[in-house]
Amino acid sequence: LKVDLKMKEFERLCVNVVNDFEIPNEKRKALRVLLNSCFPDYFPQREYFKQIPKFRYLVWNEEKLIAQMGVEDRVINVGGDIVRIFGVIDLCVEDCYRSNNIATNLLIMLENLGQQNGIEFIIVFANDHKLYRKNGYKIVTNICRWLAIDELKSVDIFEQPLTDCFMVKSLSPKPWNDGIVDLLGYLF
């Protein structure tokens, strides 16, 4: 059953922006339930996949958690250029609330936060590009280097293009360089 939100109803949703470490246990439980229903089998015992996001947007309809977006806050090396980025992690909206622009609104909120604070690019790794294309993200073809983590163990440094999923949105006039992108950490 779909929930069709009118603009007024959307404004009544409560959006918290919280450091991950500050999320209390009962809300953490709700987060795990939401992540499990949106990404089946990815979050068996925890609310993160490879590592803990720095902060999260949590969207509540009264007591019910209906959407979340984790955010990575990092510098990366783009062809020798050190740039400050936000990374979008595990953005999801509960099934029956989808297609009400909730994800789009979260992306816009993150973009505004980034712009106010000198963040130069927002990055996402997404197999399905539709939502992000609609919001101005573009595929980039750079070769990427990152720390491979498997089952909570560092296993290797990988280096390969991620042309099927690596998307970038620019928040400043700075151009996106060619050359190797060193993520200076794990692939979120």
Ligand X SMILES: CC(C)(COP(=O)(O)OP(=O)(O)OC[C@H]1O[C@@H](n2cnc3c(N)ncnc32)[C@H](O)[C@@H]1OP(=O)(O)O)[C@@H](O)C(=O)NCCC(=O)NCCS
Tell me which residues touch ligand X (CB under 6 A).
Answer: 38, 91-93, 98-104, 126, 128, 130-131, 134
Task: Report, in Å, the least distance between residue 173 CB and ligand X.
Answer: 27
Chain-centre distance of CA 45, in angstroms?
Answer: 20
Judged by beta carbon, residue 3 or residue 180, the one nearer ligand X is: 3
* CA distances (Å), origin 15, targets 30, 62, 108, 122, 183: 15, 11, 13, 20, 29
What would the two tokens of residue 167 be?
């998307």
- Sign of the alpha-carbon dihedral angle for 151, 146, 111, 127: negative
Task: Tell me whether residue 8 or residue 130 sits nearer to ligand X (CB atom).
Answer: 130
Q: Which residues of 82-107 are buried (b: 16+ CB within 10 A; e: fewer)?
A: ebbbbbbbbbbbbeebbebebbebbb
DSSP class of residue 43 equals -
Q: Which is nearer to ligand X, 74 or 177 (CB)?
A: 74
Nearer to ligand X, 104 or 163 (CB): 104
Query: From the CB of 145, what's the least distance to ligand X, in Å?
Result: 21
Rounded least distance, CB 81 to ligand X, Å: 25
**β-pairing verdict for 121-125 and 81-93:** parallel
| Positions of E strands within 42-152 | 55-61, 64-78, 81-93, 121-125, 138-139, 143-150
171 alpha-carbon distance from chain centroid: 16
In the complex, the smallest distance separating the C-beta of residue 32 from ligand X, rounded to whole angstroms, is 15
C-beta closer to ligand X: residue 38 or 78: 38
Shortest Å, Cβ 16 to ligand X: 17
- CB of residue 44 vs ligand X: minimum separation in angstroms? 17
- Closest CB to ligand X among residues 96, 157: 96
